[in-house]
Structures are given as structure tokens and as C-alpha cells.
Amino acid sequence: MKQKYSKNFPTSSQIDSQHQKPSRQSKPSNYLRKLAAGWLILQACFLTNPALAQKPKNTLTYGEFLEKLADKKVETVELDETNRRARVILKGDGAEQTPKTVKLFDRNPELSSRIILSGAELKAKQSVDRSTVTGILVNLLFIFLVLTGLILIIKRSANASGQAFNFAKSRARFQMEAKTGVQFDDVAGIEEAKEELQEVVTFLKEPEKFTALGAKIPRGMLLVGPPGTGKTLLAKAIAGEASVPFFSISGSEFVEMFVGVGASRVRDLFKKAKENAPCLIFIDEIDAVGRQRGAGIGGGNDEREQTLNQLLTEMDGFEGNAGIIVIAATNRPDVLDKALLRPGRFDRQVFVDYPDYQGRLGILEVHARDKKVAAQVSLEAIARRTPGFSGADLANLLNEAAIFTARRRKEAITMTEINDAVDRIVAGMEGVPLVDSKAKRLIAYHEIGHAIVATLVPNHDPVEKVTLIPRGQAKGLTWFTPDEERGLITRSQILGKIASTLGGRAAEEVIFGNPEVTTGASNDIEQLTSMARKMVTKFGMSELGPFALEGEDQPVFLRNEPMRRSEYSEEIAARIDAQVRSIIVECYENAKNIIRDNRYAIDRITDILIEKETIEGEDFRNLVKDFSATPEPKAKISF
């Protein structure tokens, strides 16, 4: 008769599942048990003596000790019941020998009688038991570590909650006495802007001079200019001269992803400023928060607009903010909201432009104070060679020159390091010159073509130097330096610049022939095409007459590509293309004629350039004078 055991006993799979799936309630208790067991094991390691693999010297086992007692070889026994140790001196060892140590059992009832019967001297010693104290200290250390961890966790959570409450507070950096380390003497090259801002310093120091006459100082001043011209440096100088509380913040720090945070920060900033009036508020890159409302593809950012509304209200609303002067800086004044620029808010716009020759000279003198500059260095020559450099560019120039000087292990900065620094900033890092080959000779003819056309056409900037040393993407370079600051450019100057730009391509075609023309003039062609088109469509310097046929390039929202808005018909577009082509072709023919007429000079100067790799501007002009008077040879030069 078969019996079914499956109803009464669990199967093997059920047993395995029970062992593999313990209950969730037992997990914390198991974890605590393991933690407690680990702590007890740790205490045992600290409080107990480790077992020794070998018997150390000057020790006896308990059995050996009893044998010595039975043989009456023990002279003195000192018992320490507290530590369960016995110090034994055997007969014949002498008093100077180190006693041997014997580890005793917990209970030794007959040991004393055995020692006495053996005739050995018995001594008793009571030592202090430190095991209890050590255990208490270890437990207290554990408790201290646990409490320290809890305090750190609580403190972190408190800081997180505090940051949540301070999220809407202003993040402006505040200085009760603005020790910026910058005075007006440290700012050079922008004298007109300094005069405008000097009134702000005078009002903050002596306001009665203005109030006695009923005058009101402007509430806000907007510093406008290209990057690197010294707008932030001017704000630091104002704060350093005025010695009043100074708040500085960036426009991007107002706007957050949470609604209302930017407006709250503006309110908090002006609240703190009113408590410390008279004071200065400097907002850098204000275009981040002051863009025109309702502009932009896809709708405006409502949070940014609410922040701007709050800023407008605080600067000139129902509540006055006497004694608070707001100074802001931007390089995009065209995108600012009109309400921000009206009188009563930003009353004045101070334009900080690129410095002229005298300004560059003053900036170089300021930045050369803390550098070791050789006596033969001419700051006037540097200022004359760097038109279009901003204050930041000139500071970087002297810093790069100092780096070159330290790398070459020189005592002071010389003109060589400064010239190398100018080349590095303008054109890029210096490369390895080419070996004397057809490619190097072709590049030399190309650069000499630029230089000789620029020298012989009227109203062109003089040549600074011609070099075959590669820099950046260019295999060779021809530098030009204007004699004077030119605010306006004449038609003849533009045509001369187009002709000199085409001089490299003209030299390739005349010297090597049309099949050997290279792609080296691609960048030149882009530049001259742009100049010729502007002559026709913007400057009115063509047969079409004085008409502005194209506006400013506007960036597209998504791809940031320029988008031109045409103001003419297709017929006018064709005539514009014809005029651009006519200007370029005329200049190209002029450049080729100059190359043909001065072929002998070009060949001789090219040989010198290949040998020296660099010719300075004055030397180049002297070579042109010398070789132009020599008759041209009939034989062609073969390569």
C-alpha cells in the first residue's frame, strides 16, 4: 500500500526557498547582532594578549616551573595574583640575571605550599588592574565617535534647510570699505571716462557741493564698450576712491529656474544698500537680466522679465533710494530694454572704447611698473605697433613677454621678447620653418608679393616685417603697422588694401604661371571680397551711388549664422555683383602690373628672405629702393 508523504512533509524546494528568503523583519536584528559581535571581537583584540607562536625568552611554562620546584632549583618566587604572573629566579642564575616569567592559571590552590616545601623564598606583589579602565575608555571612544557622526549629520541637514530659506537672498559681494587695491592712477587709456566717473566719487565724498546748487547726481551710470577695455576696472577704481560700502554682483546671479527668486534677490540687494547708504552697487554684464522685454523667438523668459521689472522699480519707483548709485557694465547696449536706459535710471552712458596711441602708452606704463623691463625697451614703439589692442590685450602682451623672458633665463624683458609676444598674440604659436624647397620659395614669393604691392601703392600702411616662420595656420606672414590712428578710411586706402591683399596671388601667377596657383590665398580672397562688397552696399563708393543697400548682419536664433536683409531688387543685386567684380579685377590687374614691373627686385629680395627667413620693414624698403634701380635681367629663374 503506497503512502503519500507530500501532504505531511515539505519538499526540498520548499526547504530551499525557506532558507533563501528570510523575513524582512529579521534583517535589522541580524545586522545589530553582527555589529555587536564585531565590537566584542575588536575589544578582545585590544584588551587581551595575543597568543604567541613561539615561547619567548626568559619565560617558563607552568609544567616546567613545577618541575623546577620539585627539583628544588628555584631560589625566589614573586607572585602577582592580579595579572596571574610569577617572576622566578633559579638557583645559580645570580642576582643580575633577568627573572623568568611564568603564566599561572586562574586558580592555584596548592602552588604556595609547593613553593614553601621546595625551600624557595615566596614573595607577593599586588599590581594595578587596568583592564577595566581600558575597556571603559574604549567604550567611551566608540560613543564619542558615534555622537560626532550624528552631530555632523544634523549640522548638514540644518545647513541644507538654511540654504533653502536663504535661496531668495541676494548673492552680492559686500565690502564695508571697498579695498579693491585699484585707484584712478591705476587706470590709463580712458581719460574721458575717468572724468565722467570722477563726479560720482566727488558726490559720494562731498555731496553738499551739488545739493547746495540744487543739482542731483545721476542715479545710474552705464559703462559701455568692447570686451577688455577696462569697464570692470573702472568700477573697482570708483569703489577704491570713494571709500564707501560697495556691492558687486553679476547680472546672471539674479535669474534662477524658480519663479520669483530673481525679483526677491533684487529687493534684498536694494534693502541692504539702503541700510548702508551712501553706497555703490556694481552690476557686471547687466545684459543678462536687462534684455528687452518681449523680444526673442519663441517668447521671452517670464522670470527674467519679472526680475527686470523689479530692478526698474527699485532704481526709480515710488520709493526713493537716495545715496545709492548703480553702476553697470555691458558690451551689448543694443539689446537692453529702453525703460532701463531712460533718465532717472541709467542717466548716463559712458563709452569705454579701444585706447588710442597715448592711451596705449599709458596702459603699458601702468603694467610695466611691476615687471623688470630692460632700459632699451621703447614703450612708444610697442604702443605704435599695437593699434586696436585693448587694455586687457596690452596686459597680456607684457605678461607673455615676461613668460618668454623667464623661459629664456634672461634678467629683464627685451624688445625681442615683446616682438615675439606680439606675434604670438596676433598670429599664434611659432612653428618649424620649412626647408629650402619649392614650397618654401613659393611661400616666399607670395609674401614678397604682398609686401611689395603694399609698399608701391599709394596710401597704404607701411610694412612692419615679412617672415617665413609659420604661426598658427599661416605658413608665412606679412605685417603692416599704420603710421597714425585712423578713424576714417578713404576710398584709395581701401583699394590699396585690396590690391596688397591680392599681391600674393598675383605673384604666384606672374612668377609660376596660372597652373601653379595655390590655395594659399583663400583667406585673402574672403577678406578682399568682403571689403569690396562693403564699398558697394554700405559705403556708397561705386557707380551705383551713395546708397546703403544692406543693413547690419543679424544673428539667427538657432544656428547663430548671419542673416542679411536685402533692401534691393534682383536687378540691383546683379549690378552689385558686377561692381564688386569690377573693383576686384581692377585691383588684381594693378597688383600684377606692379609684380611685372619689379620682377628683378622681387627675385633678389626673395632670395634674401629665404636665407634670413625674416626681413624687418625698414630693411625691406631699403632693398626695394636698391633693386628697383637695377635693370631687369632677361633670363628667367628656374626652380
Whichever domain contains 104, its CATH number is 3.30.720.210
Among the candidates 332, 351, 370, a domain finishes at 351
Q: Are residues 330 and 392 in the same domain?
A: no
> Using CA atoms, how far apart are residues 372 and 461, in angstroms rounded to an integer?
32
Q: Are residues 583 and 452 in the same domain?
A: yes
Instruction: Provide the grid cell at 367.
Output: 603694467
Q: Are residues 110 and 244 in the same domain?
A: no
User: Is residue 448 within 8 Å of 408, Cβ to Cβ?
Assistant: no
* Single-letter amino acid code for the residue at 348: R
Local mean pLDDT, 10-residue blocks, the chain (639 residues): 41 43 49 62 55 59 76 75 72 67 71 73 66 77 85 73 51 60 77 79 79 80 87 82 80 71 82 82 87 61 78 76 82 87 85 87 89 89 86 91 92 90 84 77 91 90 88 82 73 91 92 87 90 90 82 48 62 90 93 92 90 89 79 36
> Using CA atoms, how far apart are residues 269 and 280, in angstroms rounded to an integer?
11
Q: Are residues 399 and 473 in the same domain?
A: no
Q: Are residues 446 and 558 in the same domain?
A: yes
**Which DSSP category does 50 fall into?**
P
What is the predicted pLDDT for the residue at 83?
A: 66
The residues with which 182 forms a beta bridge, in sequence order, are none
Q: Which domain holds residue 594?
A: 438-628
Q: Are residues 345 and 213 in the same domain?
A: yes
Which of 281, 390, 287, 282 is closest to 333 using CA atoms?
287
pTM score above 0.85:
no
What does the angle CA 474 – CA 475 – CA 481 come to, to the nearest 5 degrees?
60
Q: Are residues 346 and 201 in the same domain?
A: yes
User: Is residue 68 within 8 Å of 88, Cβ to Cβ?
Assistant: yes
Q: List CB contacts of 630: < 8 A, sequence separation 6 or more.
A: 600, 601, 604
Domain for residue 450, yes or no?
A: yes
Which of 576, 574, 573, 572 is closest to 584 using CA atoms?
576
Torsion sign over Cα 459, 460, 463, 464: positive
What is the predicted pLDDT for the residue at 403?
A: 93
User: Is residue 511 within 8 Å of 598, Cβ to Cβ?
Assistant: no
Domain for residue 10, yes or no?
A: no
Task: Give the number of domains in the chain.
Answer: 4
In the block, cell 566717473 appears at 197
> Using CA atoms, how far apart are residues 498 and 550, in angstroms rounded to an integer?
21
Q: Are residues 223 and 315 in the same domain?
A: yes
Domain for residue 164, yes or no?
A: no
Q: Are residues 407 and 466 in the same domain?
A: no
Q: List CB contacts of 325: < 8 A, sequence separation 6 or more.
A: 200, 203, 204, 217, 218, 219, 220, 221, 278, 279, 280, 281
| Active site residue ranges | 447
Q: Are residues 454 and 593 in the same domain?
A: yes
What is the predicted pLDDT for the residue at 590?
A: 93
User: Helix H segments across 342-458?
Assistant: 357-367, 379-385, 391-407, 415-427, 438-456
The residues with which 614 forms a beta bridge, in sequence order, are 467
SS3 549: coil
CATH, residue 397 = 1.10.8.60
User: Is residue 523 within 8 Å of 529, Cβ to Cβ?
Assistant: no
Domain for residue 466, yes or no?
A: yes
